Amino acid sequence: MDKMSKVIEKRSSVRSSITKLVKRVQALGEETEDLNSLSELLELIETKEEILKKYDSEVEDLITDPEKFKVELKGSEEYDDKILSAKIKLKSKLKTFTEKTVQESHPSLNKSNISENAASALKLPKLEIPRFSGDSNFMEFFGCFDSAIGSNDSLSKIEKFQYLKSLLSPPAYNVVAGFELNEKNYDSCLELLKQRYGRTDFIINSYMSKLLNLEPVRNSSHVKSLRRLYDEIEVNIRNLRALNVTEGSYGHLLNLLLLKLLPQDVVLDFQRKRSKDKNCEVSEIMTFLRNEVESREISESVMNLSTLRKLKEKNIQLADSFENEIPVDILVGSDSFWDIVYDEKIRVTDNIWLINSCFGWLLGGGGKGNNSDESCQNVCLVMDSSSILFDLSKFWEIEEFPNETRGLSERDDQLIRNFENNLEFNGQRYVCKLMWKENMGPPVGLDSNYEIAKKRFNSLCNKLNKNPEISDQYKQIAKDQLESNIVGKCVNEDIKSGYYMPHRAVIRDDKITSQVRIVYDCSSKANEDKKSLNDSLETGVNLYVNILDAILKFRENQVAFCGDLEKAFLMIEIAEEDRKYLKFLWFPNDTVNSTQTFQLNRLPFGLTTSPFALACVLKFHVKKFKDDCPKCYEMLNSLYVDDLYYGAETAQDAYQLTSLAIEILRSAGFNLRKLRTNCSELNKLWCENGYEENTDHGQGSGFLGLNWDPIEDKIKLNLRDVRNSLESGIANGTTKRHVLRIISRIFDPCGLISPFVITVKILMQELWENGLKWDEQLPSGLEEKWRTWCSELAHIDNLQIERKLFSNAGMSEISLHVFCDASPKAYGAVAYFRYITEGRVKVSFIISKSKVAPLKTLTLARLELMAALIAASLAKYLLNTFPSLTKEIFLWSDSKIVLHWLKGSSKIWKPFVSNRVAQVQLLTPPNCWNHSSGSENPADFTTRGESTRKFLTSSLWWMGPAWLSQPVQSWPVQCLPNPPDGM
C-alpha cells in the first residue's frame, strides 16, 4: 500500500467518526439540558476537525491529477460545511443553556434577604459577572465568580469549569486553554489562576503600573479630565493601601509623578498654597486636587441662561399672588371659562400666556408649576448621532473602491443642460441663475427668514464686540467685497420678500491667508414647517474626480505641482433677479446709524447647489479648449473643487501646462494662485514670468486630506483631527460614541496604515457584537485594546513616504503585483509596482484595502476567496487609473484551494464560491493568478493587525517579498496542477 492510500484510509476513518458526531448534533432536541455532554461533543468535533484538516492537506499535496484534485476539493468542502453547521448549532445551544442556568441558579438571588412577597413585586436588574483578562481586578472577578458559580452546589465541577473558561479573555484565557474539560482540572485551573494573578506582588505591580501610565491633563479648563484623573489616582492609592502598601514606600516618587500629570497653572497654584515648612505628601496633593476639582465643577454648573439676560413684563397685577397656599374659593367649569376672560393676552414665552379676566391677569399655557423653595432649571440635552453616522459613512466610502460604473442619469443630464442653457458670459465672468427645484422658480412657501437672521445678527454683534481684532477683520471683508462688487447694497429692503441669510465668522488659525471668513447659512429656517433657501434648491450632480484617483495620479510623474483658485465661488456672478434671495444684515457705519441690508452679487459657498455650479462652470469653460490644448484640458478637467494637483515628466512640460492653465482660467475670471512644486527649475520659471507662488516654503502643503512637503517631496498622513478628537474625548471616558468618532476621523485612502487601522476595525465590530449603547463605558478587556491602539498612534506621525511612485523617469518593464490574504478576523489585499531603472529592479507601494470578516462564520477558504475578489478589484481599478503604464499583472495568494477555484470553471461550485469565482474571472484572467507562501505574503499584515513599530519598519510591507526585487527566475515555482480545458 502506497503512502496516499494509507493517508486516505486514515482520513476515511476520521470522516466516518465526524459523520456520526454530526448526526448526533442534528438529533439533539430542544429540551437538551446536559451542559457536560454538549461541551464534550463540541470539543470532540473540534478535535476531529483538526485531524481531518491535517489528512486533507496531506492528500492535496500528494495528488497530481487535476481531475482527482477537483473531486478531493469538493469532498473537503462538503465536510467543512457539515462541521461548521454542527458547531454553530452546538455553540448556540451552549450559549442559551449557560444564560438560562446562571439566571436560575444565581446564589445572590437565592440567598437574598428580601421577603418572597417583596421579591415578587420588585424586578431586580440582571446580574452579570465581569470578564477577566489578566489585570489587577482578579480578586473582584474571583469574588463574583465564587459567589455566583463556585459556591453553587447545584452545578457540577465540569459545568463550573465551562463557566470559568467562558468568562476569561486572553491573556488570562491562555493560562487555562490547554486543560481538558474534567472535574480534576477545574481545581487545578483555579489554583493556577490564583498563583498567577492572585499574588500580592502581582496586584501591587498592576496598581503601580496604572499610576505610572495615567493620561496627563494639559488644560485646566477640562474639568471632566481633572475629575477622571483624580478618581483614577484615588482608586489606585486606596487599593494599594488595602494591600498594606503605605504612602511612605512610594510617596516621594508619586509626588513627582502626580505633579507632572497636572496642568502647569494648577501646579503653580498648588506650590503657592502649600506649606513650605514640611515635605510635600501625597495626601496633601490629593486634598488640593479634590478641592480644585470640586470648585471647578461648582463654577461650571452656573449656567448662563437667556432668561437671566432678558427683562420680562413688569407691573402686571396677577389674579393670584402665589405668595401663600390658600383654599380654592370656586371651581370654574370649562363651559363658563370664556365668560370670565377678556379678549386680551400677552405672550410670556412660546408656550405661556397672560390672559386678562374679571379677576385679574391669569397665567396659563404649557408650563408646569413648582411650589418648591428651590429654584430649578430643567435643561433638555439633545444628542444627535447623525453627524457621527455621517462621518462613519464617509469613512466607509473611503474604504470602498470608486464606483467605476457610475454614470449620469437622464435627470442628471437634464440638470446640467438646464444650468448650461441659463449660463451667460458678460465679458468678465460667468453669470448663473439659482437652480430652483423642478426648474419651477422660487416656491410660494419660501419664508424670508428675516426674524431668525436678525436674532442671529444681534448675537454675532455681541460676540464680535468682545473681540475687536476679529471684528475689524470681519467688517473689512465686507468692505473689500463691496468695493469689488461681490456684495451690493440692497435696493429693496422689504423684509417679507426674498430670503435673509444669517452669517457667522469662521476662524482658521492654520490658514496662511483668509484666517477669518464669512460663512452664510442658507439652511436656516424659523421652524420645520418653513422652507429654507437650500430646501428650495437642487443639490446638483457630483462632477468632481474621485479623491483616490486624484491622489494616485499626483504620484505618477517626476515633477508635481499644485495651486488653488482664489475665491473660486465668488468669481461666478448671480443673475440679478435672484440676488434678492441672497440678502443679509450688516453693521451700521458712519453714514448709516441703523442695521444695513446687503445682498450677494456672486455665488456663496453656503448654497447647497454651489459645488455643482462651480464644477459645471469650469467644465463648460475648459471644454472650449479640448481640441487646441488636450493635455491642459485633461488637467483642468481633474480639478478637485478649487484645488489643482497635477504633474509632468519635465519642468518645461509642467511650466507650459501651468502657464496655459492660468491664461485659460483668467479668461473666465478665475485666478490660479499659490503655486507650489517639488522642482526648483519650475519655481524659477514661475518667478521669471511673474506667476504667484506660495511664499510659505517652511511648511508642508495640504494635499487632498493628506500633507505634502514639496521640498522633501514626501507625503504624510494628516492625523490632526484624530488627535483632537482623542484629547477632547478623554474627559468623557471611553464610550462607543467616542471610539467611533475617532475612527471616523481616520483618513487613509491609500491604505498606508491598513495593518494599524484593521485592528480598530475589528475592535469596532466587537463593540457592535457586545451590544453596547452609545454612551456606555467599554468593558475592561475592550478598553485595554483601545488604549493600546491609542498609545501607538503617535508613531504614525513619523511616517513619510515618497510622493513619486517611480524613482526616476527612465523606467521600463513595469508590472503590477497584487497580494491577497485572509484570517478568521479580516481579509485584504496590497498592490505594488515593480519596474527596472538603471539596470536595477525597484518596487514601490501603491495601495492596500482591508475588510473585517462577516459576523456569520465562514470557512477560511471562503474568506481567502473574498480576499481574492478584493485583489482582483484592486488590479482592475489600478489598470484603469494607469492605463498607459502597464498591461502585465500578477496576482498572488497563499491558498491553493482558492487558486484551484479560480483556474477552473465557476459553474461547478456551490453558489457562494461560484458567484465570487465568476466575479474574479470577469475582472482578471485566471492565468494571472499565482501561489506565494504565507510567510512571504505582505497582505497578511492587513488580516491580523500589527503594531506600528513592526509594520512601519517592515520591508515586506513597503516593498513586498524579497524575491519580488529579484529576477523572475527567483520567483516562487508554480507547482499547482493545471485544470484541463473546459473545467
> What letter does residue 304 receive in the DSSP assignment?
-
Asked if pLDDT for residue 18 goes beyond 70, the answer is yes
Identify the pLDDT of residue 393.
Answer: 53
Asked if pLDDT for residue 324 goes beyond 60, the answer is no
Question: How confident is residue 7, by pLDDT bands cut at 50, 70 and 90?
Answer: confident
What is the arithmetic mean of pLDDT over 363-370? 58
Question: Pairing between strand 811-822 and 706-709?
Answer: unpaired
- Give the integer Cα–Cα distance in Å for 685 and 672: 16
What is the arithmetic mean of pLDDT over 102-106? 51
Query: What's the pTM value of the predicted model, to 2 decimals?
Result: 0.64
Counting Cβ atoms within 10 Å, is residue 609 exposed (0-12), middle (13-18) or buried (19+)? buried
Question: Pairing between strand 516-520 and 811-822?
Answer: unpaired
Identify the pLDDT of residue 691.
Answer: 83
Residue with cell 438529533: 27
Asked if pLDDT for residue 106 goes beyond 50, the answer is no
CB 363 within 8 A of CB 352: yes
Side by side, the strands of the sheet bearing 701-703 are: 701-703, 706-709, 714-716, 801-802
Q: Where exactly are the structural domains of the chain?
A: 3-97, 137-192, 203-298, 426-709, 714-801, 804-970
Mean pLDDT score of the chain: 80
In this predicted structure, which of 26-35, 204-213, 511-520, 788-797 has the lowest mean pLDDT? Answer: 26-35
Model pLDDT for residues 486-537, shown as the tens digit of each residue: 999 887 778 888 999 999 988 866 555 557 889 999 999 888 778 899 999 9
- Give the integer Cα–Cα distance in Å for 96 and 38: 12
Asked if pLDDT for residue 462 goes beyond 60, the answer is yes
- Give the integer Cα–Cα distance in Å for 401 and 831: 14
Burial pattern 716-753, b for ≥16 Cβ within 10 A else e, equals: bbbbebbeebbeebbbeebbbbbbbbbbbbbbbbbbbb
Question: How confident is residue 562, by pLDDT bands cut at 50, 70 and 90?
Answer: very high
Asked if pLDDT for residue 740 goes beyond 90, the answer is no
Residue closest to 871 by CA, chosen among 942, 819, 833: 819
Question: How confident is residue 343, by pLDDT bands cut at 50, 70 and 90?
Answer: low
Identity of the amino acid at 807: S
- Which residues lie closer than 8 Å to 916 by C-beta, 6 or more apart? 865, 866, 868, 869
> What letter does residue 150 receive in the DSSP assignment?
I
Residue closest to 289 by CA, chosen among 314, 261, 324, 328: 261
What is the arithmetic mean of pLDDT over 647-669? 94
- Which residues lie closer than 8 Å to 85 by C-beta, 6 or more apart? 22
Asked if pLDDT for residue 279 goes beyond 90, the answer is no
What grid cell was written down for 315?
A: 407691573
Asked if pLDDT for residue 50 goes beyond 60, the answer is yes
User: Which CATH code fits 804-970?
Assistant: 3.30.420.10
- Planar angle of CA 759, 821, 69, nearest 5 degrees: 150
- Give the integer Cα–Cα distance in Å for 695 and 698: 9
Model pLDDT for residues 162-192, shown as the tens digit of each residue: 778 777 777 777 777 777 777 778 888 888 8
| DSSP helix/strand/coil, 816 | strand
Identify the pLDDT of residue 557.
Answer: 92
- Give the integer Cα–Cα distance in Å for 479 and 491: 18
Identify the pLDDT of residue 421.
Answer: 92
Residue 963's alpha-carbon distances to 306, 837, 937, 959, in angstroms, are 71, 17, 11, 10
Residue closest to 860 by CA, chosen among 79, 80, 35: 80
CB 686 within 8 A of CB 693: yes
Asked if pLDDT for residue 327 goes beyond 80, the answer is no
| DSSP helix/strand/coil, 520 | strand
- Give the integer Cα–Cα distance in Å for 980 and 903: 10
CB 852 within 8 A of CB 889: no
Question: How confident is residue 696, by pLDDT bands cut at 50, 70 and 90?
Answer: low
Question: Pairing between strand 714-716 and 826-837?
Answer: unpaired
Residue closest to 552 by CA, chosen among 870, 882, 797: 882
In this predicted structure, which of 28-37, 221-230, 961-970 has the lowest mean pLDDT? Answer: 28-37
CB 460 within 8 A of CB 521: no
Model pLDDT for residues 583-616, shown as the tens digit of each residue: 999 988 766 567 889 999 999 988 999 999 999 9
Question: How confident is residue 150, by pLDDT bands cut at 50, 70 and 90?
Answer: confident
What is the arithmetic mean of pLDDT over 767-778? 84
Residue closest to 679 by CA, chosen among 669, 689, 687: 687
Question: How confident is residue 430, by pLDDT bands cut at 50, 70 and 90?
Answer: very high
Identify the pLDDT of residue 981.
Answer: 38
Model pLDDT for residues 779-807, shown as the tens digit of each residue: 888 888 888 888 888 888 889 999 999 98
In this predicted structure, which of 21-30, 706-715, 950-959 has the lowest mean pLDDT? Answer: 21-30
Question: How confident is residue 370, by pLDDT bands cut at 50, 70 and 90?
Answer: very low
